[in-house]
Amino acid sequence: MNLSFLSEQVLWGIAVSQLIVVAVLLLLGLLAHAVVRRLLRRVMRRFSRKGDQNVVNDVYRLLTRPLSFLVNVAIWNGVIGLLGLPETPLNIRLWATTAGMVALILVVAYCAFHVVDVFAAIAARTAEKTETKLDDQLVNPVTNTVKLLVALIMVAAILGQFGYSATGLIASLSIGGLAVAFAAKDTLANIFGSIVIFSERPFQIGDVVEINGVEGSVEEVGIRSTRIRQFDQTVSILPNQTFTNAEVRNLSKRGSRRVRFEVTLTHEATVLQLERFLTSIRDLLAQRTDLHSDQNMVQLTKLDASGLGVLVQAFTLSTDFAAFMVTQEEILLGVRRLAEEQKLPIMPAKEVHLSGQTGGLPPS
């Protein structure tokens, strides 16, 4: 069947054959979403047999719409090229071509954003499987940084469509960035500090740390600063550059917490009373199931004018602060109870004994 006559027919200044092709392309554009969804589903079915089903779901959920938009915009650019739009007296063809390219750049960036989201979802699931919680907080800053780079490339490409040099723009940004770097060196130092934290991982979210006299639980690690909640519920925000030079003591890395105190008795206590007291404290500690039994220490460590000093030291199995406080309190009460039962004279705080005096003021 000879259809060459269609190329000779003109409608609205455009060959009928071209209008037919444009109509077919527009129809394909309307069907693009359904076609892309079906093709993507088939491809994902093959990968779902070998790969992670969550990845398959993310790709299908996040990329179906962007890819259909990309097909539509690509078709529209083809339509603009086929229509043969006039260039005089107004260069409508140039305007339409530029608009089509700008739309294509925007849609490509939109697709790139969703691809980044797919990888971010994969990274988030991987971070959940690690012991440290710093990985979880690293996902969002890295994702936002990559999206920012995509946005900058998109802006440069769009400006290029309007005759601006992308190289000149990048050079301008570089010079401006250098000036900003000098003006914001502390910010850059904080960013470097965050890199140190995420790479070396001296602590993770929830750890109890001590840094420059600030002791508390790490609540959040950001690009610029780290938030620590102290035990009195005060929130301290430390710049991340602090961690590049300061000593970081991670108290949560300890295998146990130490209970240590001293009981001072007066010289009225006899040797038999002391031996009984020491033995009873050792038995008290040995009966507890929340202590390292091989690290308990109860010793007479002081014998001087201030009294008889009994050192009590033990290490808890748990490193939790609240559990430690409960254990320490129970041990203190237990030792005090033993002293009362055995009628041992405990030295009062800050009591001063003056030889030859029973009370009152010393003679002037």
Quickly count: other Cβ atoms within 10 Å of residue 344's Cβ.
20
The overall longest dimension of the chain from CA atoms, in Å, is 136
Q: Looking at the predicted structure, is the pLDDT value of residue 339 above 70? A: yes
How many distinct structural domains can be found in the chain? 3
Evaluate whether residue 16 is within a structural domain: yes
CATH number of the domain that 326 lies in?
Answer: 3.30.70.100
Extract the tokens encoding 217.
């639980």
Q: Write down the pLDDT at residue 11.
A: 46
pTM for this predicted structure: 0.49
Residues 226 and 261 in one domain: no
For residues 173 and 156, give the distance between their C-alpha atoms in angstroms, rounded to a whole number.
Answer: 11
Residues 235 and 261 in one domain: no
Evaluate whether residue 243 is within a structural domain: yes
pLDDT tens readout for residues 94-109: 777 788 788 888 888 8
**How many residues in total does the chain contain?**
364
What confidence tier does 321 reach under pLDDT thresholds 50, 70, 90? confident
For residues 289 and 273, give the distance between their C-alpha atoms in angstroms, rounded to a whole number.
Answer: 27
Question: Can you tell me whether residue 303 is helix, strand or coil?
Answer: strand
What are the helix (H) ranges across the chain? Answer: 5-8, 16-30, 32-48, 53-83, 92-128, 134-161, 166-183, 185-200, 242-245, 271-286, 321-341
What are the helix (H) ranges across 52-165? Answer: 53-83, 92-128, 134-161
Q: Write down the pLDDT at residue 296.
A: 93
- Residue whose entry in the numeric block shows the structure tokens 């723009």: 169
Of 288, 263, 295, 258, which Cα lies nearest the Cα of 278?
A: 263
Quickly count: other Cβ atoms within 10 Å of residue 78's Cβ.
16
Q: Looking at the predicted structure, is the pLDDT value of residue 92 above 70? A: no
Residues 94 and 54 in one domain: yes
Q: Looking at the predicted structure, is the pLDDT value of residue 295 above 70? A: yes
Residues 233 and 297 in one domain: no
**What phi, psi does 156 have (nearest 5°)?**
-60, -40
Residues 101 and 229 in one domain: no
Residues 291 and 327 sit within 8 Å (Cβ to Cβ)? yes
Residues 97 and 207 in one domain: no
- Top pLDDT among 148 and 178 is at 148
Residues 53 and 124 in one domain: yes
Residues 291 and 316 sit within 8 Å (Cβ to Cβ)? yes
Extract the tokens encoding 225.
């600063």
* Residue 213 region by backbone torsions, left for phi larger than 0, else alpha for psi between -120 and 50, else beta: left
Q: What is the mean pLDDT of residues 266-277?
A: 91
Q: What is the mean pLDDT of residues 57-70?
A: 74
Quickly count: other Cβ atoms within 10 Å of residue 84's Cβ.
12
Q: Write down the pLDDT at residue 333.
A: 95
H or E stretch covering 217: strand 214-221
Question: Can you tell me whether residue 10 is helix, strand or coil?
Answer: strand
Torsion, Cα 81 87 92 98, to 10 degrees, reads 60
Residues 113 and 216 in one domain: no
Evaluate whether residue 75 is within a structural domain: yes
Q: What is the mean pLDDT of residues 72-93?
A: 66
For residues 245 and 190, give the distance between their C-alpha atoms in angstroms, rounded to a whole number.
Answer: 12
For residues 132 and 138, give the distance between their C-alpha atoms in angstroms, rounded to a whole number.
Answer: 11
Q: Looking at the predicted structure, is the pLDDT value of residue 201 above 90? A: no
Q: What is the mean pLDDT of residues 286-304?
A: 91
Evaluate whether residue 127 is within a structural domain: yes
Q: Write down the pLDDT at residue 280.
A: 95
Residues 6+ apart with CB under 8 A from 234: 216
Q: What is the mean pLDDT of residues 315-339?
A: 91
**In which domain, by residue range, is 277 found?**
257-341
Q: What is the mean pLDDT of residues 56-72?
A: 74
Q: Write down the pLDDT at residue 88.
A: 66
Residues 265 and 237 in one domain: no
Of 132, 150, 266, which Cα lies nearest the Cα of 205?
A: 132
Q: Write down the pLDDT at residue 291.
A: 93
Q: Looking at the predicted structure, is the pLDDT value of residue 17 above 60? A: no
Q: Write down the pLDDT at residue 80.
A: 65
pLDDT tens readout for residues 122-144: 887 777 776 666 666 677 777 88
User: Any idea what DSSP says for residue 362?
Assistant: P
Distance of CA 149 to the CA centre of its chain: 20
Quickly count: other Cβ atoms within 10 Å of residue 357's Cβ.
11
Residues 66 and 124 in one domain: yes
- Top pLDDT among 172 and 341 is at 341
Residues 151 and 231 in one domain: no
Evaluate whether residue 356 is within a structural domain: no
Evaluate whether residue 297 is within a structural domain: yes
Q: Write down the pLDDT at residue 312.
A: 94
What confidence tier does 363 reach under pLDDT thresholds 50, 70, 90? very low
Q: What percent of the chain has pLDDT over 70?
A: 67
pLDDT tens readout for residues 209-235: 888 888 888 888 877 788 899 888 889
Evaluate whether residue 363 is within a structural domain: no
Average pLDDT score, the chain: 76
CATH number of the domain that 246 lies in?
Answer: 2.30.30.60
Q: Write down the pLDDT at residue 362.
A: 45
Final residue of a structural domain among 222, 253, 284: 253
What confidence tier does 327 reach under pLDDT thresholds 50, 70, 90? very high
Residues 75 and 208 in one domain: no
